[in-house]
Amino acid sequence: MTPDPATQIELFSTGGSDADLIGTAALPAELAEGPVRLPPELRLGTSSWAFPGWAGIVYAQRAGEQMLAREGLGAYARHPLLRAVGIDQTFYAPLDAAEFARYARMVPPDFRFVVKAHAALTTPIDRQARNVAVTPDVDRFLDLDYAIERIVLPVAEGLGERLGALLFQFPPLGLPYARDPQLFINALGAFLDQLPRGPQYAVELRNREMLCGPYADVLARNGVTHCFNVHPRMPGVLEQAELLGDSAWLSGAVVLRWMLHPTQDYEAARERYFPFDRIVDPDTANRGAVATLLERIIGRGSEAIVIANNKAEGCAPLTLFGLARELDRRQRTPAPAA
C-alpha cells in the first residue's frame, strides 16, 4: 500500500533530524527576488505551528499534525521571516519548565516566544469554558500564587531570554466589570504590582470599555505593555493606540496579535479557511493599519512581535508575508516632498 503523503514522514522518520526531514520551504518568489528589508526590532510569527496545510509555505515536506506539533518547530524556526511564535496551548493548561526548555532548544538564540497564560488565571470562574483545565470550584482568577508558581516561574526558567512576552489574554469579562471597568483595572493593578520582575508581560483585552487612561497607567507603572489585537470585538489597532496613548506601549516589547477577520467568528472562520493553505479573505484595511502602528512603535524605539492567526485571512504565514511586503514597500517608497 502506498503511504498517505500526509503521514509518510511521521511513519518513516527513523534517522536524522526530524526538522531536517520536514524541511523549511523556500521564500515565495516575490519575496525571494530581492532582499526584504524589515527592521531588526520587528519579529513575525504565527499562533502555533502544527498545520499540515503549510506544506510548501513554511515546510518543505508535508507532515502530519502530530509530527509537526512534536518536531515542526525546528523547521519553522529556520524560516527567514519567522522569528517568533505563539504558544497557545498554555491557555488551556500550563506546561512545565522542561517542556518550555525543549522548545527553547529547537530555535536559535534570537527567536522569541509569546506564551499565553492559563485561562483559569484570566477568566472569572463563572465564565470559564469546560475545556479550561482547572480544579472544579477553585477560583484562580488573578490568583497571584498560582500565576507565579504554575506560569511565570516555569516559563521564565524554561525559555530564558527566548521569552518575548508572557501574555495575559482576558476574554469578555461580563456585566459586573463592563458596567464598572475600574473594578477590573484595580484588580489587574493589584495583580501586576506583585508579579516578579524580569519577564516582559503583556495584557490583551476583549472589552473595549477598558481602553482608558487608568488602564494604561496600571500597565505603565509595572513595565507591562498592551497587546494590540485585530479582533471584531475591539476597535482597530490605531484607535486602540489613540485611546491608550504612548504609556501603554512604550514599556518594553509590544505584542500585536492579528487574530480574526472582521466578517467572521472563530468557528465560521475555521470551517471557511481550513486547511489554512491560502488567503481566502484578504484584509487590506487591517494590513495597512498594522503596518502604520508598527512604524510608530519601532520609530519610538520599541521592539514589536506580530503574531498572526490562520483565521485572520485564511493562512497565517501568508498574512505575515503580505505584511512584510507592505512594510518593505513603505521603506522603499520615498516620502512625499514637503
Nearest to 181 by CA among 147, 153, 144, 218: 218
Rounded Cα distance between 157 and 195, Å, is 15
* Cα distances (angstroms) measured from residue 52 to each of 6, 80, 266: 7, 19, 19
6 inside domain: no
Residue 251: predicted pLDDT: 74
pTM of the model: 0.91
Pick from 59-73, 215-229, 321-335: least confident: 321-335
| Reported confidence tier of residue 9, pLDDT bands at 50, 70, 90 | very low
Residue pair 131/104 in contact (Cβ under 8 Å)? The answer is: no
**What value does the CA radius of gyration of the chain take, rounded to a whole number of Å?**
20
Residue 287: predicted pLDDT: 98
**Which CATH number does the domain housing residue 281 bear?**
3.20.20.410
Checking phi first, is residue 35 left (phi over 0); if not, alpha (psi -120 to 50) or beta?
Answer: beta
149 inside domain: yes
Q: Is the pLDDT of residue 134 over 80?
A: no
Q: Is the pLDDT of residue 12 over 70?
A: no
8 inside domain: no
Rounded Cα distance between 196 and 230, Å, is 29
* Cα distances (angstroms) measured from residue 224 to each of 35, 175, 254, 308: 34, 26, 9, 21
193 inside domain: yes
* Cα distances (angstroms) measured from residue 215 to each of 37, 212, 224, 293: 35, 6, 11, 20
Mean predicted confidence (pLDDT) in 197-221: 96
CB-CB neighbours of 31 under 10 Å: 16
CB-CB neighbours of 307 under 10 Å: 27
Mean predicted confidence (pLDDT) in 45-73: 96
122 inside domain: yes
Residue 178: predicted pLDDT: 87
18 inside domain: no
Q: How many domains does the chain have?
A: 1
Pick from 42-46, 99-103, 171-175: least confident: 171-175
DSSP 8-state assignment for residue 150: I
Residue 252: predicted pLDDT: 86
Residue 174: predicted pLDDT: 83
Residue pair 209/201 in contact (Cβ under 8 Å)? The answer is: no
Q: What is the mean pLDDT of the chain?
A: 90
10 inside domain: no
pLDDT digits (tens, 9 = 90+) for 265-316: 999 999 999 999 999 999 999 999 999 999 999 999 999 999 999 999 999 9
Mean predicted confidence (pLDDT) in 231-238: 97
Rounded Cα distance between 111 and 162, Å, is 6
% pLDDT > 90, the chain: 80
For 209, the domain range is: 25-330
DSSP 8-state assignment for residue 127: G
167 inside domain: yes
Rounded Cα distance between 96 and 79, Å, is 27
Strand pairing category for 254-258 and 201-204: unpaired
Greater confidence, 225 or 334? 225
| Reported confidence tier of residue 16, pLDDT bands at 50, 70, 90 | low
| DSSP per position, 64-95 | -HHHIIIIIHHHHTTSTT--EEEE-GGGTS--
SS3 245: coil
Greater confidence, 32 or 183? 183
Nearest to 165 by CA among 233, 77, 90, 230: 90
| Reported confidence tier of residue 337, pLDDT bands at 50, 70, 90 | low
Contacts of 120 (CB under 8 A, 6+ apart): 128, 132, 133, 134, 140, 141, 146
pLDDT digits (tens, 9 = 90+) for 71-118: 999 999 999 999 999 999 999 999 999 999 999 999 999 999 999 999
